[in-house]
Amino acid sequence: MLPFIALSESLSATPLKIGEKFIYDIDVGGVYSGTATMEVAGRTQRSGVDCLVLRSTAESAAWISAFFPVKDVITSHWDPVRRRTMWNEKNLREGNYFRFYRVAFDYAVGQAHWYEKRYSGNRPRGKTGGPQRQAVWEERSGTTWMLPDQFQDMLSAVYFARTHSEQARAGQSFILDVYDELKLTELKMHIHQKEELTLEVNETERTISAWRIQPFLNTTGMFQRAKGDVIVWISADENRWPLKVSAAVPLVGSVDVTLTKYIAGH
């Protein structure tokens, strides 16, 4: 859910605050289809390290849930001092597909210890056709080795970017190490240009200066089939708000996730 990153201008980033929350409308083909959120939900400790609890959700509207319910929840425990992920969990439900995924990172030995289980009511038929095979839960666990001493997960990458002071300019490209889908991969970002984006946030229309950015990634969740056709807008000020995500998804059409409400933290 919401898998994007951007680097804003060289400004002192606003510190992350507990309780800060972004609320978005999800539109598919111009039709309201659900709600997404992203928030700093609290504090916790992970391996003796004080962490922020980051959480994102995506949930289908009632009219879609009647025949294809979607409810995705992603949680990260993020070390704001060393600015790296310590723990990540995905709990995905999309129609008859369910997946639970959890990974804990041990930087002392460069390892990630993961567990997942998945269930699908839409398993493919056998090669000879016939009735659909019985859906079952599948579980597995393992360890990823030889990891670097700093990287992000897909959610913490957003907050890493929000606390970063690297100067951005049109035409720049950046690469960030991200652990996702049981492996370390590169999240590539290209900054196209600065644009003026008009949104209605907290029932007030406002025009916000924003960077238009294109990420290239391979992940699960809402944009897993977009294959690079994703555009992100992030505010070009010290707040670095994630304002909007647009994607062209095969067989689905245009998907837009647009900020509609902001709750300040404390």
pLDDT greater than 50 at residue 231: yes
Rounded to the nearest integer, the mean pLDDT of the chain is 88
Is the torsion defined by CA of 166, 209, 39, 186 positive or negative? negative
Answer for the pair 72, 1: CB distance below 8 angstroms, yes or no.
Answer: yes
The pair of three-digit structure tokens given for residue 199, joined into one six-digit string: 């949104």
Q: Where are the beta strands (DSSP E) in 17-172?
A: 21-28, 31-46, 49-60, 70-79, 84-94, 97-106, 111-120, 137-144
pLDDT greater than 60 at residue 214: yes
Tens digit of each residue's pLDDT (9 = 90 or more) over 2-29: 434 334 343 445 679 999 999 999 999 9
Q: How does DSSP assign 132-192, residue by residue?
A: PPPP-EEEEEEEE-S--S--B-TTHHHHHHHT------TT-EEEEEEEETTEEEEEEEEEE
pLDDT greater than 70 at residue 175: yes
Answer for the pair 201, 244: CB distance below 8 angstroms, yes or no.
Answer: no
Tens digit of each residue's pLDDT (9 = 90 or more) over 177-191: 999 989 999 999 899
Q: What is the pLDDT of residue 174?
A: 86
Q: What is the pLDDT of residue 9?
A: 40
DSSP state for residue 123 in the 8-state scheme: P
Give the residue among 196, 231, 233, 187 at the shortest CA–CA distance from 211: 233
Domain edges within the chain: 21-263
Q: What is the pLDDT of residue 128?
A: 52
Answer for the pair 173, 192: CB distance below 8 angstroms, yes or no.
Answer: no
| Residues in Cβ contact with 174 at an 8 Å cutoff, skipping those fewer than 6 apart | 7, 166, 188, 189, 191
The pLDDT confidence band at residue 217, using thresholds 50, 70 and 90, is: confident
Residue recorded with tokens 């962490």 = 51
Give the residue among 63, 8, 3, 13 at the shortest CA–CA distance from 36: 3
Q: Where are the alpha helices (DSSP H) in the chain?
A: 62-65, 156-162
Total-model pTM: 0.87
The pair of three-digit structure tokens given for residue 23, joined into one six-digit string: 């609320």
Q: Name the burial class of residue 100, with classes exposed (0-12), middle (13-18) and buried (19+) by CB atoms within 10 angstroms of its CB.
A: middle
Q: What percent of the chain has pLDDT over 90?
A: 71
Q: What is the mean pLDDT of residues 136-163?
A: 95
Return the number of other C-beta atoms located less than 10 Å from residue 6's C-beta: 27
If DSSP codes are grouped into helix, strand and coil, which group holds residue 195?
Answer: strand
| Long-range contact pairs involving 29-35 (C-beta distance under 8 Å, separation at least 24) | 29/252, 29/253, 29/254, 30/254, 32/61, 33/60, 33/61, 33/64, 34/58, 34/59, 34/60, 34/61, 34/64, 34/70, 35/59, 35/61
